[in-house]
Amino acid sequence: MSYTERDPYGMYVDNGRKGPGPELMGADTLIGDHVHNLQNEHLGEIKEIMLDMRTGKIAYAVMAHGGVLTIGEKLFAVPWEALTLDTINKRFTLNIDKERIENAPGFDKDNWPNMANQTWASQIDSYYGTTRHSSLNSPID
């Protein structure tokens, strides 16, 4: 199901004027979007969007891969910068081989990593080839 099908407020209806999408999108409409690579292979589905509360920016999309009806699925924190919204196909693209995502650092729904840990964040950025000037480990007021 694409974001146009999860649009309870009609934000993405083409009524001859621009906006709000695709420049501004509701997080709720993006959860459930599929993720494909550049070879058009299905990699997973967006399950959650993680916000960095210090900067107000999106840090990660949590993507699920594998399993059946959430049983046996593996979760991945994919840096937001690594994803591109494909407005033609109404999904995200991630420039990574399917085999590489299958071997990516992941977790299960009962064992989430400490995403605020700078060492963990650096490892994830390194794996996906992203860089970010993170505010992780800075206290929240």
Q: Which tens digit of pLDDT belongs to each residue from 47-90?
A: 999 999 888 999 999 999 876 665 678 999 999 999 999 988 98
Are 140 and 93 within 8 A, CB to CB? no
Of the candidate ranges 2-6, 37-41, 48-52, 61-65, the one whose mean pLDDT is the lowest: 2-6
Query: In the prediction, which pLDDT does 68 show?
Result: 64
Query: In the prediction, which pLDDT does 140 show?
Result: 46
Model-wide pTM > 0.95: no
DSSP string, 97-117: -HHHHHTS--B-TTS---TT-
Are 72 and 60 within 8 A, CB to CB? no
